[in-house]
Chain A
Amino acid sequence: DTGVSQDPRHKITKRGQNVTFRCDPISEHNRLYWYRQTLGQGPEFLTYFQNEAQLEKSRLLSDRFSAERPKGSFSTLEIQRTEQGDSAMYLCASSRAGGLTQPQHFGDGTRLSIL
């Protein structure tokens, strides 16, 4: 098991374009989380799934952001009409169900740069 995998590692795009990131969790983990991290800050929670159900969304997640986990395995995070402020590291994490008695395992992240 290689752990949580995220693709791409880096994404550079022009303002106004749409981008999509992918996260593959650890295979036996049914919970999947998305976080965003900007320079000088800790990761900020965006949303999380248990299996294919999206159970919570942060107010940080504007209507330009959408996340899916259609088969309860990998997840995608799409940002439409990107803005300069979307530049950040997008982190994915996974865990088993059972709340926080099970630690979250993080991926390497996708670094998004908006030109």
Chain B
Amino acid sequence: AQRVTQPEKLLSVFKGAPVELKCNYSYSGSPELFWYVQYSRQRLQLLLRHISRESIKGFTADLNKGETSFHLKKPFAQEEDSAMYYCALSGDRDDKIIFGKGTRLHILP
């Protein structure tokens, strides 16, 4: 079954400290992995996807097929990073997106 697991509902990190939001997935094929973000009072938006191999707002995520993980990382947290983060996947023959339950990231001053 297709599944995305985000083990942390809430993650509190001090400003300037490293951030790692965990994501594990289950999919029998070659999925496409994403991180979506929702800032306060804003709509859900794409942060990054694994095929782009890019860094957005200082965030990166590496797809580890052996561990079926796609953790989101940032070396130095900023207060504006406080938001809800959703890990998501899509299958190789699907267009729908399967979302995790999300992790709320709270950056402490």
Using a CB–CB cutoff of 8 Å, the interface residues on chain A facing chain B are 3-4, 31, 33, 35, 40-45, 48, 55-56, 58, 91, 99-101, 103-109
Contact = CB atoms under 8 A, between A and B. Distances in A.
A55 B95 CA distance: 10
A99 to B, nearest CB: 6
B97 A45 contact: yes
Contact of B43 (A42, A55, A107): A107
15 contacts: A3-B43, A40-B101, A42-B4, A42-B100, A42-B102, A43-B99, A45-B96, A56-B94, A100-B90, A100-B97, A106-B43, A106-B44, A107-B43, A108-B43, A109-B43
Interface residues of B, number: 21
A22 B9 CA distance: 31
A71 B10 CA distance: 43
Interface centre among B43, B45, B94 (most CB of A within 10 A): B43
Interface string B64-97: 0000000000000000000000101010001111
Interface of B: 4, 9, 32, 43-46, 49, 51, 86, 88, 90, 94-102
A104 B96 CA distance: 10
A43 B97 CA distance: 9
B101 A41 contact: yes
Nearest to A56: B96
B72 to A, nearest CB: 14
Given A91-B44, A101-B51, A42 B86 contact: yes
Interface centre among B44, B46, B90 (most CB of A within 10 A): B44
Contacts of B101: 40-42
